[in-house]
């Protein structure tokens, strides 16, 4: 197993190099990179001389290989470079956006897991009843409903017409107000985006939990349990959490990067200043250092996520095998 781990860790480096190289080459193809730095919407075109200056100043006239090597060497020194648009360290810009993103995705995940496991357990235990079929339908519908459409609908219904929740943004309370007020205001702003991000995973996880539970536990255990006089519910929970936990946790590894990438639309709709929106904005404004840094980050998260899930599966396997015997 150690060998497996080492091999996996070692394979990260070439993958990262491959990803960053492809991104670099792709970015080369994007038209208008000098314009993004000098051009102004509404004003005249920059002079040819100004464009030449930009090209020279940002080394666009140097060969790709050299620039890429330069960037990789900087990265090896933990230097992400400076944003071409804002002339601020990229690390700072990403940190600014990472916190809202993290809070949003974390709450979405938390919400999904906190609700889906009890629901999945409860649902599995009601096998054959009418509420099971109703649940099946409900979760299928939830799973299928596109999340940005839901975001728009919920926005209209809850924020505009009923005024229950704020429309967009992080929070509008001034700095001097008390901590409780600010926290509450932030939670109110967080509610809708987190809900929209989470309900799809929630539906998926609930179905997954239920399916897993049903697979692991046949009807036999119930008979055995009743024979032994143990509480049915307790046993269900014990079994569920033990057997379904590992596969669920492996899913976490895969869900995290999906949430991060998938939130571009949600972040745009709710004007949430997170990484998804930053990515989109940097792409349309040709801010190469930021794009490269974000791509690397996303790749690391994905690789880390799948590594984590593989690891957990590797750990889980011997235990399961022992269980069956």
Binding to another protein (CB under 8 A) within 214-243 occurs at none
Could you say whether residue 43 binds another protein (CB under 8 A)?
Answer: yes
Q: Which is nearer to another protein, 109 or 286 (CB)?
A: 286
- How far apart are CB 227 and another protein at their closest, in Å? 26
Report how far residue 217's alpha carbon sits from residue 126's, in angstroms, rounded to the nearest whole number: 13
Among 30, 73, 223, 224, binds another protein (CB under 8 A): 30
Q: How many helices (H) and strands (E) does the chain have?
A: 13, 0
Q: How many residues does the chain have?
A: 325
- Report residue 174 as tokens: 């001034």
Q: Which is nearer to another protein, 31 or 229 (CB)?
A: 31
- How far apart are CB 76 and another protein at their closest, in Å? 19
List the alpha helices (DSSP H) in 1-47.
Answer: 2-29, 33-38
Among 203, 269, 293, 312, binds another protein (CB under 8 A): 269
Could you say whether residue 271 binds another protein (CB under 8 A)?
Answer: yes
Residue (of 204, 213, 208, 232) closest to 124 by Cα position: 213
Q: Which residues contact 189 (CB under 8 A, 6 or more apart)?
A: 165, 166, 168, 169, 170, 171
Among 68, 108, 122, 240, binds another protein (CB under 8 A): 122
Binding mask 140-179 for another protein (x = CB under 8 A): xx-xxxx-xxx-xx--x---x---xx-xxxx-xxx-xxx-
Q: What is the DSSP letter of 46?
A: P
Could you say whether residue 302 binds another protein (CB under 8 A)?
Answer: yes
Among 9, 181, 234, 241, binds another protein (CB under 8 A): 181
Q: Which is nearer to another protein, 136 or 241 (CB)?
A: 136
Q: Which of residues 50-69 bind another protein (CB under 8 A)?
A: 50-51, 53-54, 57
Residue (of 227, 229, 208, 218) closest to 123 by Cα position: 208
Whether the CB-CB separation of 309 and 253 falls below 8 Å is answered with yes
């Amino acid at each position: 197993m150690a060998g497996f781990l080492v091999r996996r860790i070692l394979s990260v480096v070439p993958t990262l190099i491959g990803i960053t190289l492809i991104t670099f080459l792709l970015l080369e193809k994007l038209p208008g990179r000098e314009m993004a730095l000098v051009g102004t919407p509404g004003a005249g075109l920059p002079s040819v001389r100004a464009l030449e200056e930009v090209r020279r100043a940002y080394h666009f006239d140097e060969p790709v290989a050299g620039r890429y090597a330069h960037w990789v060497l900087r990265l090896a020194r933990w230097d992400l470079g400076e944003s071409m648009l804002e002339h601020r360290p990229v690390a700072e810009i990403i940190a600014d956006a990472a916190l809202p993103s993290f809070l949003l995705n974390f709450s979405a995940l938390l919400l999904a897991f906190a609700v889906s496991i009890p629901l999945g357990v409860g649902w599995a235990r009601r096998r054959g009843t009418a509420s099971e079929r109703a649940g099946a339908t409900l979760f299928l519908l939830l799973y299928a409903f596109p999340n940005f459409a839901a975001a728009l609908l919920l926005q209209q219904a809850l924020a505009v017409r009923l005024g229950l929740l704020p429309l967009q943004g992080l929070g509008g309370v001034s700095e001097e107000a008390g901590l409780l007020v600010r926290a509450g205001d932030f939670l109110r702003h967080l509610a809708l985006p987190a809900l929209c991000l989470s309900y799809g995973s929630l539906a998926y996880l609930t179905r997954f939990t239920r399916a897993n539970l049903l697979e692991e536990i046949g009807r036999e255990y119930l008979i055995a349990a009743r024979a032994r006089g143990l509480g049915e519910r307790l046993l269900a929970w014990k079994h569920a959490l033990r057997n379904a936990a590992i596969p669920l946790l492996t899913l976490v590894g895969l869900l995290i990067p999906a949430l991060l990438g998938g939130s571009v639309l949600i972040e745009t709709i709710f004007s949430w200043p997170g990484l998804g929106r930053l990515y989109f904005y940097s792409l349309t404004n040709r801010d190469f250092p930021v794009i490269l840094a974000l791509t690397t980050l996303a790749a690391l998260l994905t690789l880390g996520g799948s590594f984590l899930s593989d690891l957990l599966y590797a750990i889980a396997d011997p235990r399961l095998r022992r269980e069956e015997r």
